[in-house]
Chains A and B, each alone.
Chain A
């Protein structure tokens, strides 16, 4: 009698756990949209910190959700996604913000922007991925 009562509950728990594991395994890398930033910084400071000490800046920013403010140097949009380049104060480098396809980017060159994205590090430019425009 007890087993007959418990069996459906055990089965239900197994199914729920299975669905949770499947969803976790299939989840896409998170977008920055709707999340609160771990750290806020200007584009010029972020770039300067990486340029001066890449290792320590990497420890501070890599994998973190970074909110960056700066002036838009250029915007490029395509079917695969879009890219906003923020001025770093150095013509040789910039803060590159990558957006997933479908993001609405109502900005123009020279405008002031507040963007948050996951920092991937520094390779001539500082790269932020899966970005969203901050309100």
Chain B
């Protein structure tokens, strides 16, 4: 009888946790690309080691990216990006925590393409800003989800100042592309 009661308690405690874990989708290989385009120079950097978690049932979404994991074509660009602009020793990661908001009645776990908006807080260079951006989520039959999102950020909004010497080479607004494929944990 005592064992049966213990079993009941354990089941009551574990069931919600197991249900939440089953619902969670994650990746450690998300890709964020940024572009800066000016008449003087085009700059591209890619980070393909972004960690992210998505819970389709609640829409909760989080990601974190190592700033030093952005790779540039030129060593000097990478050095300036880390040392002069992003100060990656002081602020090693960028974070996003927010919520995916599908149109009313749309279920993200249903296979198909979902046009959504993503709302949340983006933190980089020690500054947090609230964002709302459009995104497309494609849910496959096996439950995996591909997320694609294009948006723009202004470095100045995150306290990132560009020295006047190189101002003509770096755009005031950067284009960011997020491409993440989530699979079940």
Binding site for B on A (CB under 8 A): 24-30, 58, 62-63, 80, 96, 98, 120-125, 127, 129
B1-39 interface bits toward A, Cβ cutoff 8 Å, 1 = contact, 0 = none: 000000000000000000000000000100000000000
Specify which of B28, B49, B75, B92 is in contact with A28 (CB 8 Å cutoff).
Answer: B75
Q: Report Cα–Cα, A124/B26, bound state, in Å.
A: 12
CB-CB < 8 A to A25: which residues of B? 74, 76
CB-CB < 8 A to B72: which residues of A? 29
Q: Report Cα–Cα, A29/B76, bound state, in Å.
A: 8
Q: How far is the CB of B49 from chain A (nearest CB, A)?
A: 6
Q: Report Cα–Cα, A98/B29, bound state, in Å.
A: 12
The chain B residue with its CB closest to the CB of A124 is B51
A120 with B75: CB separation less than 8 A: no
Q: How far is the CB of B66 from chain A (nearest CB, A)?
A: 5
Question: Does B71 reach chain A (CB closer than 8 Å)?
Answer: yes
Question: Does B177 reach chain A (CB closer than 8 Å)?
Answer: no
Interface size of B in residues (CB-CB distance below 8 Å): 19
The chain B residue with its CB closest to the CB of A83 is B29
A29 with B28: CB separation less than 8 A: no
Q: 14 more A-B contacts (CB under 8 A) besides A62-B89, A123-B49, A127-B49?
A: A27-B76, A29-B74, A29-B75, A80-B48, A96-B28, A96-B49, A120-B49, A120-B66, A120-B69, A123-B28, A123-B51, A123-B65, A125-B28, A127-B69
A120 with B68: CB separation less than 8 A: yes
Q: How far is the CB of A130 from chain B (nearest CB, A)?
A: 8
A-B contact count (CB 8 A): 53
A121 with B76: CB separation less than 8 A: no
A27 with B74: CB separation less than 8 A: yes
Q: How far is the CB of A35 from chain B (nearest CB, A)?
A: 14
Q: Report Cα–Cα, A30/B73, bound state, in Å.
A: 11
Give 3 nearest A-B pairs by CB, closest first.
A120-B68, A29-B75, A123-B66
Question: Does B78 reach chain A (CB closer than 8 Å)?
Answer: yes
7 A/B residue pairs, CB under 8 Å, sorted by A? A25-B74, A29-B74, A58-B89, A120-B68, A123-B51, A123-B66, A129-B71
Question: Does B123 reach chain A (CB closer than 8 Å)?
Answer: no
Q: How far is the CB of A81 from chain B (nearest CB, A)?
A: 9
B74 with A121: CB separation less than 8 A: no
CB-CB < 8 A to A58: which residues of B? 89, 92
CB-CB < 8 A to A122: which residues of B? 66
Given the contacts A123-B93, A124-B28, A29 and B65 also touching, CB distance less than 8 Å = no
B74 with A28: CB separation less than 8 A: yes
Q: How far is the CB of A26 from chain B (nearest CB, A)?
A: 6
